[in-house]
Amino acid sequence: MNPQSEVQRIEAKLNKLFAGEPRDFRPFAVFDESLDCIRVVTRDCSVTETRVNELLTILEDNYPDRPEAKYVGFTIKGARHFCLERQLKAAGPIRLAEILDEILAAFPQPFVDVCVNAVARPILEQNPQIDIVELPTAA
């Protein structure tokens, strides 16, 4: 294939990908199977990821319009492994609040408590539609 036709093929794919009306951002919680990670994001913005411990990372808006809007999400790394370790459901729908309870039980440090109770839980309370995430059946 010549380089010009390859460029045209890529342009056609990009045009198809970005065709149509733009959609508004909606908060989401998703399980990334390849990374064994649950990602919760409530705003489409530039973020800094602040690692709390080996499991929990908080997402902070780099340019919040007000201080109380600073936190926009969190990730739970090693999510399926953690669920198995803590004897939680590791496939199918699971409530994020249940995982947060287990994080507090497994990591009783004050900083983890603050991050879970002052950041992650309020995010879920403000966005109840994202409290459940689907963990696919392990292959």
Helix/strand/coil for 94: strand
pTM for this predicted structure: 0.81
Backbone phi and psi for residue 52, each to the nearest 5 degrees, phi listed first? -90, -50
Q: Using CA atoms, how far apart are residues 129 and 11, in angstroms rounded to an integer?
A: 36
Mean per-residue pLDDT for 96-108? 96
pLDDT in tens, 11-51: 887 777 677 777 788 999 999 988 999 999 999 999 999 99
Look at residue 16 and give its three-state secondary structure: helix
Strand partners, 73: 41, 59
Of 101, 105, 96, 104, residue with least CA distance to 130: 96
* Helix or strand holding residue 83 (H, E): helix 79-85
pLDDT band at 2 (very low <50, low <70, confident <90, very high): low
Eight-state DSSP code of residue 115? I
Q: State how far the Cα of 30 lies from the Cα of 18, in Å rounded to an integer.
A: 22
Indicate if the pLDDT at residue 1 is higher than 60: no
pLDDT bucket at 3, cuts 50 / 70 / 90: low
Residue 5: pLDDT band with limits 50, 70, 90: confident
Q: Tens of pLDDT along 46-85?
A: 999 999 999 999 999 999 999 888 999 999 999 999 999 9
